[in-house]
Structure 1
Amino acid sequence: MCGRFTLAATPDEVAAFLATLELDAFPPRYNIAPTQPILMAMAGPPREPGSNLPDRVALLVRWGLIPSWCKDPKALPLLINARSETAAEKNAFRAAMRHRRALIPATGFYEWKREGKSKQAYLIRPKGGGLMAFGALMETYADPGGAEIDTGAILTTAANDQIAAIHDRMPVVVRPADFARWLDCRTREPRDVADLLAPVEPGFFEAIAISDKVNKVANTGPDIQEPIGVAPPAPQPAGKPKAAARAAPADQLKLF
């Protein structure tokens, strides 16, 4: 799963990466947690002939998807992730997978490796730094009073051999060359973009051991990413069974 991530890039860098209009100013975010606002990019409305406007729009959504059919969000688990292997069939994600595919910009995410009774935190980021985009889904939920809220979830896939040494799942990473195809929900069905849901190749990421400061949502400074000198775990040999999935922390299964 992906339960925390970071976006430590300037608005101009993010806008250029996603090919959207200029973004409002926002500070670096080092410990983005469920239910907080997150930035997404989606395909915009069809452009007029000759227009030079970007064909993507950016919006802020609540991290934790609420299906449009949900009658009582308090009775629903917090859907921060969607398994890419089954999202097109699951009732909670099927409509979004067909009609509202999105991208979430990030500069890294956090994962925890179980070591006996303890857990070691890792910052997992593109090797050498820089931006990446998670495959994501967006859904607009209207409560009984008529108020609307945009919500979203990160798509996950099986970990590659490198990340499997830490956790058995990882976010889907969509490369810039595939942005347009992934976001095209007008002419491309889920089956037409299923190939983009594969794990990113080993070597794309680097894993950096960090302290347990990241465990607390209140810790939001860059110091939570400081290395602590623990060597990353060795990649699992191909074909070796991956570790059992880690249970989601209880506070991530509550909406409010």
Structure 2
Amino acid sequence: MCGRFTLTTDINAIAKAFNVAPSLQTQPRYNVAPTQNIVSVLRDGDTHLDWLRWGLIPSWAKDESIGSRMINARAETLAEKPSFKRLLRGRRCLVVADGFYEWKQEGKTKTPMYITMKDKELFAFAGLWDVWKSPDNEIVRSCTIITTEPNELMSTIHNRMPAILTGEAQQDWLNTDEHDEPFLLNLLKPFSTDAMEARPVSRQVNNPRYDSAELIA
């Protein structure tokens, strides 16, 4: 799964990496957690940065509490589950990150591991998004992060990993004219082990109230 991640990169560098305008105001985040707003790339008319709440609230949901249970979606079942099938065909997004956490079982304890690219560059998780209208007419745009089978590195830590997309795959994923499910699902492969590295970090990351550079020191 993917339950926490980081985005410490300056907004101008984010905008340059995804060839969009720096239209958001951000600050370094070292412990991004579910139900928080996260930086995403959407192609909703034009391609742009936007805030999405992490934890999908489907348009048909009766209340927003379902979002806390839909932070991740399995790539293998996207085309089967009603909550995701419609979004797979028409509401895909990128979730911007520069690292993520996963917990490694070691005996009776779980050690938080911080996973990044070896070159420390930005990357993007594949996501799905939707729009929900509350009973008092509040509009909430939310998303889920897609997970897939682990690569060799991640398999030593956990049995899932977020689906990470690179340049051409990012454009294919955002292409609103692309509706072919087998093609889209084929993009959601385990990312190359050779490009990634992992190391243990502070257990303070277990608490979403902690959000400082000390977490990855």
- The answer to which structure has the higher strand fraction is 2
Residue in 1 that maps onto 2:41 = 41
1:117-196 to 2 correspondences below 5 Å: 117-196=108-187
SS in 2 for 1:74: helix
Tell me if structure 1 keeps the 8 A contact 2:172–2:178: no
Query: Aligned partners of 1:13, 1:190: CA distance in 2, in Å?
Result: 32
Work out which of the residue numbers 103, 109, 115 in structure 1 matches 2:100: 109
Match of 1:91 among 82, 91, 97: 82
Equivalent residue number for residue 246 of structure 1? none
Structure 1 residue corresponding to 2:58, chosen from 67, 77, 87: 67
Q: Distance in 2 between matches of 1:139 and 1:187?
A: 17
Contact residue 42 and residue 49 of structure 2 kept, 8 A: yes
What is the root-mean-square deviation of aligned Cα atoms in Å?
1.4
Residue type matched to 1:114 in 2?
A: Q
The answer to which structure has the higher helix fraction is 2
Q: Structure 2 length normalisation: TM-score?
A: 0.95
User: Structure 2: 5+ residue runs without aligned partners?
Assistant: none
- Tell me the distance in 2 between the aligned counterparts of 1:12 and 1:184: 23
CA distance in 1, matches of 2:67, 2:186: 30
Q: Deviations over 1:17-69 (max 9, x none)?
A: 11211233311101000000001111142xxxxxxxxx412110110001111
The one-letter code sitting in structure 1 at the alignment partner of 2:40 is M
SS at match of 1:197: coil
Say whether the 8 Å CA contact 1:114–1:120 is kept in structure 2: yes
**Equivalent residue for 1:81, pick from 65, 72, 76:** 72
SS class of match (2:87): helix
Distance 1:93 1:183 in 2: 16
Aligned residue for 2:19?
19
Calculate percent identity across the aligned residue pairs: 36
Q: Unmatched 5+ residue regions in structure 1?
A: 46-54, 227-256
Judge which range, 207-216 or 87-96, deviates more: 87-96
Q: Is the 8 A contact 1:65 1:152 kept in 2?
A: yes
Secondary structure at the aligned position of 1:21 is classed as: coil
Distance 2:47 2:133 in 1: 24
Which residue number in structure 2 is paired with residue 50 of structure 1?
none
The one-letter code sitting in structure 2 at the alignment partner of 1:178 is: A
